[in-house]
Structure 1
Amino acid sequence: MATREVRWTLRSIKDKMLIYEYWLQRNQSDAYPRKLERLFNKSMSITAKFPLAGKPTELENIRCRLVKDYKIFYRINDKTIEVLTVWDSRQNPKELRI
């Protein structure tokens, strides 16, 4: 079983930073943002080994992993997993753009 490399797009990194900033300001602590970072990385590490573990979406070759209240959308490539966006699932789904 080959492990693919996980590559975070610029957009997905920006999404994560906005989430971390929100929790940092809300809690006045970096404990929860650090926990989310570990959970996101752990989820994508598992995905690198088992790329089909995520739920299929309506879009071809794009899957989704749920981590707490966040959905991580990714594309499976030959040698990589490309993380496209990190979405707070409590938002209006009509506003989601992948």
Structure 2
Amino acid sequence: MVRRIIWARRAQEDRKSIFSYWNKRNKSKNYSKKLNSLFNQSIKLLSIYPQIGRTTNKENIRIKVVRDYLIIYEFTDRELIILSIFDTRQNQSKLKNIF
């Protein structure tokens, strides 16, 4: 069963920030488009098979690794909620704020 995908505000902001960083750094949107495609492919897969993500110490919250990023999400029978997209090159203590 395909779940409806819901983006939490934080996840939307994370995604926008990631793309903005790469657009400025590379002076091109090409890498951001590639990342967006990878994120979308992974999220579509998660909407069908949400259990493939790594479990966390928080019940119902899982993580899917996509390159240098963690897609942090939870799911129900009908919905996949994207909570955050975290760049693993950041200070890991920032992850505590997400959980």
Say whether the fold is shared (TM-score over 0.5).
yes
Matches within 5 A, 1:49-60: 49-60=48-59
Q: How many residues align?
A: 97
CA distance in 1, matches of 2:7, 2:77: 16
Partner of residue 94, structure 1? 93
CA distance in 1, matches of 2:57, 2:32: 30
Partner of residue 80, structure 2? 81
Q: Deviations over 1:62-85 (max 9, x none)?
A: 000011100000011220000000
**Counterpart amino acid of residue 73 in structure 1:** I
Partner of residue 11, structure 2? 12
> What is the alpha-carbon root mean square deviation over aligned residues?
0.7
Gap regions ≥5 residues in structure 1: none
Partner of residue 41, structure 1? 40
Q: Aligned to 1:90, what secondary structure does the other structure show?
A: coil
Q: Aligned to 1:78, what secondary structure does the other structure show?
A: coil
CA distance in 2, matches of 1:82, 1:89: 20
Structure 1 runs, 4 residues or longer, greater than 2 Å off: none
CA distance in 2, matches of 1:28, 1:92: 25
CA distance in 1, matches of 2:77, 2:58: 18
**Counterpart amino acid of residue 84 in structure 1:** L
Q: Percent identity?
A: 38
